[in-house]
Each structure stands twice: as structure tokens, then as C-alpha cells.
Amino acid sequence: MGSVSEYFGSLVFDDRVMKANLSAKVYQSLKKTIDEGAQLDIGVANAVASAMKDWAVANGATHYTHWFQPLTGITAEKHDSFISPSPDGGVIMEFSGKELIKGEPDASSFPSGGLRATFEARGYTAWDPTSYAFIKGKTLCIPTAFCSYGGEALDKKTPLLRSMEALNKQALRILKLFGNDTVKCVRTSVGPEQEYFLVDKEMYDQRPDLRFTGRTLFGAKPPKGQEMDDHYFGVIKPRVAAYMEELNDELWKLGILAKTEHNEVAPAQHELAPIYATTNIATDHNQLTMEIMQKVAAKHGLVCLLHEKPFAGVNGSGKHNNWSIATDSGVNLLSPGETPYENAQFLLFLCAVIKAVDDYQDLLRISVATAGNDHRLGANEAPPAVVSMFLGDELNAVLEAIENDTPYLGTEKTQMKLGVDVLPKFNRDTTDRNRTSPFAFTGNKFEFRMLGSSNSIACANIMLNSAVAESLKIYADRLEAADDFETALHEMIKKTIKDHRRIIFNGNGYDDAWIKEATEKRGLCNYRTTPDCMPHLLDKKNVDMLTSHGVFSEAELKSRCDIMLENYCKTVVIEANTMVDMAKTQIIPAVESYVAELAGTAAAKKALDPGIACDYETSLVKRLSALTDSMMMKAEALDDALMELHKADDVITESYIIRDTILTKMGELRLACDEAETLTAKKYWPFPTYGDLLFGVR
Ligand code: ADP
Ligand code: MG
């Protein structure tokens, strides 16, 4: 393979390829569609399709697929070959504009939450020309949105694109008010930092819990965990280094700017961060990244675990969503400016985010809610389920000065007047970063840290974009009607700071005292679990906001709420069934074998000399026998509780039973089994232990 600059993006039908392979007229027309959302005419689509096919075939592709993101959380594809019969009995490779623009996968088994009656099982996929097509294996993949014939979104890309458009529309209104008439569009960008675990494939294969659920459901704490902090940024082991190297190559070929990689806090945990990209592209890339991480791992005899909590007792995995808003000419609207005017504009966008996060904290929590992520957010781990924002000391002092009309003490003790005074230069020193905050300002972007490692970043960004669009809309309405722009602006910023101060918290987010203060004094939401938060998706204020910006219809929201709760229930039920099975067919029989050995040893000793006490064997046999009884009883109790589940009338009730009963009983069964593990000879234990898994890759 040549140098990185030679093969970077070699499997992507990107701007360079388009320019080289399309006529100037077709290229210009396509660019207009990509940049400004102009309608694409069929003649252009045909020309693009033909060039795309020729390029793909030249690069080894034989098939194409519309690549989409149904609500299952992973990506879907249905491959069609380019081959068409030709009159002479041979074949030709064909691909039309129609096939590029629209596809009709047989979509009846993707979740729709009742949006699509089974007699109308068809859905269609529609090309997203703003995200480049790429080749995976022998297949040309075309990023698409997925909708029902009624036009309802059945995927994550459609509402994401709508939310980007909503924010674009409102941000343009604001920029106009600031006298910016040249800006064509405003887009959000995201750089998602992805955490993951690597474990040995042979060990993984021996654990039904990992294979069926992605996480360990049993496992006593190993003698060594993460307490030494010696893994974080530690030396990368050779096998892991080889994996990362190949992963980077594969991602680079797909035009994904994988940039940094390092070991994380927990043993066997790592992180990969790309350079940020426009949100819908970043979302496609993150889905692809997760897929390729797993594929490459298999080649190295490894398994990449993307579950939020693969191991109890060590840190789980998240995904940090670094988010900013920029104009088409590359001006970052979350970057403090050089002039008073730019500063006022920056403060307004900052306030829009503060207001959005406070008003729609529930939607942000909902956007990251899954059974897996509940193990991080609701538990004693970072970040907490309470949404709050960190701004840093300097910015905080500025806001305080504005709120109270007091001098800002950071500079020359002058009273800050927006649009007149220059903001102080903010120190972008990383030391004032708050790693415990769920939503932190980091100099020129916000870092939303509540996402789970397996989450699609679409959901979080849909809510974030929409909520900020709503703040901007309210601001634009007010400012457009104001007689004196500057006074109105100043008052509005002041009011936002006053009204939303409660969401700003600069202390330690892990602290129990904070959770108490947040919920009792500040009235912030603390939805610890998915069943706690998900029904609030349908709260009137949320439905009103999301429908008014055209991001979701009410029917789409209802269906999503159902699907998310169904996913939650199914996930936990599979885990519970796996536990019952492992306890009954693996753990209990293993303990019994060891008990038999112990009893046999005691009997043999007694036969030699009846005077030998055999206290060790006797007490261990007693303890383990009590544990096998207890394990059996708890497995039965869990099984019985699972049998009762179908009696729940609706999915919300079912999710409550799972939260309150099933998960509790799973915890009880685990406790007995984990104790048995600590007492059973290792050679009898039926699968690799935590120590094996966490320290097994060298
Ligand atoms: P960290 O110290 O958290 O690693 P970095 O500056 O390295 O912070 O950035 C982390 C992620 O944030 C990367 O994916 C990076 O590309 C992304 N990022 C940087 N600037 C922006 C921006 N303006 N908008 C969105 N994402 C950004
Ligand atoms: Mg980060």
C-alpha cells in the first residue's frame, strides 16, 4: 500500500472523484444539490449514476446497495448486482439515476412502531447526496434515508437531516439580524470520540453472555481492576497496536479521518476519535466506524465490544459528541470572536445552547436512553443522569457580569456592554476542563458526554439541533420585532442567563451532593433509567417543539417511544434468559462437579484414616451446596418473573416491571453465582473469568 495521502478516501466517491468523472455541467448541478439542497433532475441523476457505477466497477464492485439506518440502531443494506442481461445473451453493467435516487427494500421486518401496517409493508429509501457513496467489499454503498410510503421517517437519518435544516433556517435569521447577508447556510459539525473494549475471540466464544448480549452477566471482581490507573494512556500492547493500525487503514480508505487513539481508564478499554465532520456525515461515519471496528477485530482474533457496560466494576464505554455550529464559509459560531459585534453574536449562540439544554434536558436524556446506557448514567458512573452544563470560570464570570450589570473583573473592571466591549480572550487551557460534566463548553464547541458507546449519534444530535433551533427561533422572533436591536439583544441575553442559570454547574458531577442539589434545589430532571425518561418524549412541550420545526410528526414520535421501550424490554429479557440458561446449564453443574471432587477427597481421606477431620472439604461442600440451592432458587424466581411479563398491558408497564423486578432478580442471581466463582476451583469454572478477559490480550 502506498502512503496514506495516496489511499485516503480511495473507496469514496468524493468531490475529487466527482470532479474528475462528471461533466462540468453535471458536477455544478450536483454541487448545487449538495450545498444548497436544490432539486436534482433525472438527467443529472442518470449521469451521476453512470459515473458512479463506472468508478465502482473499476474499483472491484459488482453490487450496489442503498445503505440506511433503521431504528434497530445498526445499518441495513440490500444488495443488488449491476448486472443486466443484454440482447446478445451476455450481461452489461447498469445503474440508472432512478436506482440511485430511490430504492424499495422489502422492509416489513424493520421496526416501525405501528407506522406501517403490514399490508403496506413497503418503505422506500432515498439518496442523501450530501453524504458520499463508498465501496465496502464488492459493494457500492449509497447513503440513504428510509421512509414509509406515507412519508413517515422509519430511520434516524431523516429526522437528523430535518433537524439540521431547522437549525439552519433559524440560524440564518439570526445572522441576517447581525448584518450577515452573504452566508448561504449554517451547519452543525460533530466529532464523536468512541470508546470500546477489545477481548480475545477464543475467550469471547466461551461466554454465552458476551455472544448473546454483548456484556458479561456474571463475573467476580478480579484481584486487579482499574485502581492503579495504569492503563489510561499507557503503552499500547503489540496485538492492539496491530489492530489499531489496520483499523486506521480501513477507515482512511473510506475517507474517515480517524485521528487519535489511546488506551482508556479501564483495562482492555480504548478510544478512537475522528476529525469532526458535518453532522450527517459524521453520523454515517460513526456507524461505519463501529462496523469496521468489529470486522477488523475478527481478523486479529479479537472481539470489539461496543456495549456500554461489558464488565461490572470497571468503567463503561461512552461516546463524546463534540458539537459546533458553523457557516458555509467556515465561521464557527461557538467561537468567541475578535470584535464586539462578533462577541455579541457568540454570546447569543451560547445563550441559545444554554436555553436549549435547560428547556429540553429531558429530550437530551431521552436521546441517549438504552438498557445498556442505564448502567452508566443511572449508576455510580460518569456522567450522571442529570443533565447540566459546564462553561468554565472565565465564561461564567462574563455571564455573571452581564446578568447583574456589574463590571467584569477579568479585564479593566469595565462594565460589559454588548456590541460595544470586546470580550476578554478566553483561555483555552485544557486544565479548566471539567471531565465530569455531561455537557461541557470546550473553547469553541460543546462536548455532550452522555452518549453510550453503541448509540447512533443521530438521536442526540436530532434533539440538540432541534432544541437550539427552538431557542434561535424565539430569539429571532423577538429581535426582528425590536425597535432597538442592541438593547433588545442585551436584555434577551440577560434574561436567558437569569432564567437558565440552574442548568450551569461547574463542580463535580459525580458527587452525590450535586444530585441532591440538582433535583431538590434546582428542579433538574434525574431520570435514572430508560423507562423513567422515555414516556416524556410525548410530553406536550416536546411534541409541540419537535413538530413545529418539522423534525418529527406526532405519529413518528409515538412510534419511536414504543420502539425504544420495546428495545429496552427485549434487551433485558434476552439478558435474563441468558442468565437463567448459564446458571442452570453451566454454573450450577460446574459447582456440583467441584463439590463431588471435594466430597470424594474427604471420603478418600476418611477411608485412609477415619480420624482425619476434613474440615476444609466439609465447610466448602456445605457453603457450595447452599450456594447451588440458592442459585437454583434465584434462577427459578427469575424465570417465573419472566413468564409473568406477557401479562403487562402495554410496553410502558412492561418496562416498569423489567426495571423494578427483572433487573433486581438478575442482580440477586448474579450475586450468588459470583460468590460461587470465588470458591470454585478454576479448572471447573465453565468460562473465562474477568481476569482472563480484561488482561488476556497482550
Ligand atoms: P479532547 O481533548 O477531548 O480529545 P480534541 O480537541 O482532541 O479534544 O477533540 C475531540 C474531538 O472534537 C475530535 O473528534 C475533534 O475533531 C472534535 N472537534 C474539534 N473541534 C471541533 C469543532 N469545532 N466542532 C466539532 N467537533 C470538534
Ligand atoms: Mg473528549
Angstrom distance (rounded) from CA 49 to CA 509: 51
Angstrom distance (rounded) from CA 623 to CA 605: 20
Q: Are 73 and 567 within 8 A, CB to CB?
A: yes
Q: How far is CA 86 from CA 47, 50, 83, 92, 94, in A?
A: 20, 17, 9, 6, 10
Task: Give the chain's radius of gyration (CA, Å).
Answer: 28
Q: Ligand 1, closest atom to CA 276?
A: 16
Q: Are 436 and 383 within 8 A, CB to CB?
A: yes
Q: Ligand 1, closest atom to CA 335?
A: 23
pLDDT at 364 over 60: yes
Q: Best substitution site from 271, 276, 437, 442 to test ligand 1's pocket, by max atoms within 8 Å of Cβ?
A: 276
Per residue in 282-318, pLDDT tens?
999 999 999 999 999 999 999 999 999 999 998 999 9
Per residue in 441-456, pLDDT tens?
988 999 999 999 999 9
pLDDT at 108 over 70: no
Residue carrying the nine cell digits 442592541:
486
**Mean pLDDT (whole number) for 510-518:** 89
Angstrom distance (rounded) from CA 525 to CA 520: 10
Q: How far is CA 335 from CA 179, 231, 474, in A?
A: 18, 34, 22
For the range 326-333, what are the long-range contacts, defined as Cβ-Cβ under 8 Å and sequence gap of 24 or more?
326/186, 326/187, 326/188, 326/189, 327/175, 327/180, 327/183, 327/184, 327/185, 327/186, 328/35, 328/183, 328/184, 328/185, 328/186, 328/187, 329/182, 329/183, 331/183, 332/444, 332/445, 333/171, 333/186
**Mean pLDDT (whole number) for 475-496:** 94
Lowest mean pLDDT among 73-77, 118-122, 304-308: 118-122
Per residue in 638-683, pLDDT tens?
999 999 999 999 999 999 999 999 999 999 999 999 999 999 999 9
Angstrom distance (rounded) from CA 630 to CA 198: 33
Query: What's the pLDDT at 429?
Result: 46
**Mean pLDDT (the chain, rounded):** 90
Residue 341 pairs in a beta bridge with none
CA of 325 to the centre of ligand 1 (A): 13
Q: Are 463 and 379 within 8 A, CB to CB?
A: no
Q: Ligand 1, closest atom to CA 444?
A: 23
Which cell goes with 534? Answer: 422515555
Q: What angle do CA 117, 121, 125 make, to 5 degrees?
A: 125
Higher model confidence: residue 581 or residue 257?
581
Closest C-alpha to 11, from 247, 255, 246, 248: 255
pLDDT tier at 599 (50, 70, 90 boundaries)?
very high
Closest C-alpha to 676, from 614, 615, 637, 625: 625
Query: What's the pLDDT at 118?
Result: 46
Residue type, 90: G
Angstrom distance (rounded) from CA 196 to CA 474: 40
Angstrom distance (rounded) from CA 47 to CA 83: 18
Per residue in 161-198, pLDDT tens?
999 999 999 999 999 999 999 999 999 999 999 999 99
Query: What's the pLDDT at 231?
Result: 67
**Mean pLDDT (whole number) for 374-396:** 87
Q: Are 35 and 281 within 8 A, CB to CB?
A: no
Specify the pTM.
Answer: 0.93
Percent of the chain with pLDDT over 70: 93
CA of 351 to the centre of ligand 2 (A): 22
pLDDT at 34 over 90: no
Higher model confidence: residue 106 or residue 356?
356
pLDDT tier at 151 (50, 70, 90 boundaries)?
confident
Query: What's the pLDDT at 430?
Result: 43
Q: Ligand 1, closest atom to CA 332?
A: 23
Percent of the chain with pLDDT over 90: 73
**Mean pLDDT (whole number) for 136-156:** 90
pLDDT at 100 over 80: yes
Per residue in 400-433, pLDDT tens?
888 887 766 554 444 455 554 545 555 454 445 6
List ligand 1's pocket residues with C-beta within 6 A: 189-191, 193, 273-276, 322-324, 332, 444-445
Q: Ligand 1, closest atom to CA 324?
A: 24
- Which segments of 624-669 are extended strands (E)? none
Ligand sitting nearest the alpha carbon of 191: 1
Query: What's the pLDDT at 119?
Result: 46
Ligand sitting nearest the alpha carbon of 319: 2
pLDDT at 121 over 70: no
Angstrom distance (rounded) from CA 293 to CA 244: 9
Our CA dihedral for 11, 12, 14, 17, rounded to 10 degrees, sits at 30
Residue carrying the nine cell digits 474528475:
20
Residue nearest to atom 13 of ligand 1 (CA): 191
Lowest mean pLDDT among 193-197, 365-369, 486-490, 583-587: 486-490
Closest C-alpha to 153, from 119, 115, 188: 115
Angstrom distance (rounded) from CA 432 to CA 442: 9
Residue nearest to atom 24 of ligand 1 (CA): 324
Bin 301: left if φ > 0, else alpha if -120 < ψ < 50, else beta: left
Residue carrying the nine cell digits 440564518:
172
Angstrom distance (rounded) from CA 573 to CA 645: 9
